[in-house]
Amino acid sequence: MNRTWVVVGATSIIAEQFAHLAAKKGYALRLVGRNIHQLKLIAADLALRHHISCCVVPMDATQITLPLEAIFAHDDTELDVLITHSDFTENATLSHDAITHLVHTNIHSTLQLIQAYWSIPQKEHHLIYLSSVASTRGRAKNSMYGASKAAIEVYLEGLQQAATDSQHITIARLGFIDTRQTYGMPGIFYKAPPKACAKACWHANQYKKRLLYYPYFWRMIMGVIGLLPFFIYRRMKI
């Protein structure tokens, strides 16, 4: 049976680069997201370059009812899943609506997607979730975004604990990557290329890694930050 990568949030440049890697290896692709026009352009490019089947499924993550049947249709294929979509609203601009939007996008939809995927009977499951180093310690600037990533990580850790040898979940804790999310942000000392990030995620999942930090040096940085007593952490302007 052939395999298909379902890429959720496929207009992210990291997701697009990941889709190219999967397509190069001969996987079929299903691109999921809300910007249909952009997704169709990406799908046409992937299909043309790599001669693979690539379709598009519309999904707005803020909707209560997600098109789960269309996203996870699996009549003639087994599915692997990359979850990329995210809302990055910072604490300073949170309002009632913004909180609802962030919780639906980052938590509600992600839990629904993972749960639906995990209950499909397949020989193998491969799931990659793009998290953030912001999940490891609350930061004044964006602790609600960080909390949403941490919530999914905890849920996934439980699935990892119960997983069989043929079920692989990789949590990718990303530092700064050169994408739309970080465009124009001041004070970033290094932004990693999205293509290298996609490659690291691909390899981590193929090698059955449970947790990836990318760029890799963020593991050390977050190790140190995690150990700081709160009275010191509080004074840091990061």
Ligand X SMILES: NC(=O)c1ccc[n+]([C@@H]2O[C@H](COP(=O)([O-])OP(=O)(O)OC[C@H]3O[C@@H](n4cnc5c(N)ncnc54)[C@H](OP(=O)(O)O)[C@@H]3O)[C@@H](O)[C@H]2O)c1
Q: How far is the CB of 59 from ligand X (least distance, A)?
A: 6
What 8-state DSSP symbol labels residue 135? G
Q: Which is nearer to ligand X, 45 or 87 (CB)?
A: 87
Is residue 75 a contact partner of residue 29, using CB atoms and an 8 Å limit? no
Q: How far is the CB of 147 from ligand X (least distance, A)?
A: 13
**What is d(CA 147, CA 167) in angstroms, rounded to the nearest whole number?**
26
Is residue 32 a contact partner of residue 10, using CB atoms and an 8 Å limit? yes
**What is d(CA 174, CA 117) in angstroms, rounded to the nearest whole number?**
23
Q: Which is nearer to ligand X, 41 or 228 (CB)?
A: 41
- Residues of the shown chain interacting with ligand X in the complex, contacts defined by CB under 6 A: 9, 11-14, 33-35, 59-62, 84-87, 105, 130, 132, 174, 176-177, 179-182
In 3D space, the residue among 143, 198, 204, 196 whose CA is nearest the CA of residue 168 turns out to be 204
Q: Residue 173 in 3-state DSSP?
A: strand
Q: Which is nearer to ligand X, 80 or 175 (CB)?
A: 175
Q: How far is the CB of 58 from ligand X (least distance, A)?
A: 9
Q: How far is the CB of 232 from ligand X (least distance, A)?
A: 24
Q: Which is nearer to ligand X, 88 or 122 (CB)?
A: 88
